[in-house]
Chain A
Amino acid sequence: AQSVTQPDIHITVSEGASLELRCNYSYGATPYLFWYVQSPGQGLQLLLKYFSGDTLVQGIKGFEAEFKRSQSSFNLRKPSVHWSDAAEYFCAVGAGGNEKLTFGTGTRLTIIP
């Protein structure tokens, strides 16, 4: 069975600092990997996705993620965070038509001035 681990429940970062959110997955074949962001009371917005090919994936809002098969990881990074990045971030793994996503428990990001 597939699974996703986001080891950090809550991260606090200063505005302008760099950010890395960790995601480890367990899946028997090549997974499809996603990062979604959720602002309070809102739905989920896709930040970026990995289906195949280049292991460094660029997304919206200046985010990127790197797929490392040897480490079963898909960490999310941003070189300089903005106050508007404060939200909850979810890593997810899927396959096939992505009708059965498995999500991590999320990482809540707080930005301090």
Chain B
Amino acid sequence: NAGVTQTPKFQVLKTGQSMTLQCAQDMNHEYMSWYRQDPGMGLRLIHYSVGAGITDQGEVPNGYNVSRSTTEDFPLRLLSAAPSQTSVYFCASSYLQGVKTEAFFGQGTRLTVV
């Protein structure tokens, strides 16, 4: 049982480059979310989705784009990377068809923008 899988684990980008962080879950969870973790700030919500075709902004959405075409996948796109986006990114999934669940997290993607 893989749970939540994030790829890549590490990435270095140059300022202005774009990239997509991948997230997939195999638990048939309806809800998926992206967080960023910065020292001393805990985790902050970037975007979330309550089902295929439905996404919404979290606390820190600027510079990021998401889409949800399937229940399993929730990619996060950096449109034009900036040094301020250097962070560790976590994807999470939760909620199984009317059953409350905690959020299950992936192992994270460590992104450095130079």
Give B residues with C-beta under 8 Å from A.
Answer: 30-33, 35, 40-45, 48-50, 58, 90, 92, 94-95, 100-108
Judge whether A46 is part of the interface by a CB distance below 8 angstroms: yes
Interface SS of A by simple majority? loop
B-side contacts of A97, CB under 8 Å:
30-31, 50, 94-95, 100
* Cβ A106 vs Cβ B95 within 8 A: no
Interface residues of chain A, those whose CB is within 8 Å of chain B, are: 4, 9, 32, 34, 36, 42-44, 46, 49, 51, 90, 92, 94, 96-106
- Which B residue's beta carbon lies closest to that of A90? B42
Residues from chain A with Cβ under 8 Å of B40 in the complex: 9, 105-106
A98 touches B31 (CB 8 A): yes
Residues of B within 8 A of A34 (CB): 102-103
Tell me the total A-B contact number using a CB cutoff of 8 A: 68
Q: Give the docked Cα–Cα distance between A96 and B99 (Å).
A: 10
CA distance A22 to B33 in the complex (A): 26
Residue of B whose beta carbon sits closest to that of A6: B42
A36-B105, A42-B107, A101-B45 given; name 19 further pairs at CB < 8 Å. Answer: A32-B100, A34-B102, A42-B108, A43-B107, A43-B108, A44-B105, A90-B43, A94-B103, A96-B95, A97-B30, A97-B100, A98-B94, A98-B101, A99-B48, A99-B94, A99-B103, A100-B45, A101-B33, A103-B43
- Beta-carbon contact of A99 and B49 below 8 Å: yes
Query: Can you list 29 A-B contacts (CB < 8 A)?
Result: A9-B40, A32-B100, A34-B102, A42-B108, A43-B90, A43-B108, A44-B105, A51-B100, A90-B43, A94-B103, A98-B31, A98-B94, A98-B100, A98-B102, A98-B103, A99-B31, A99-B33, A99-B49, A99-B94, A99-B95, A100-B33, A100-B58, A101-B43, A103-B35, A103-B42, A103-B43, A105-B40, A105-B42, A106-B42
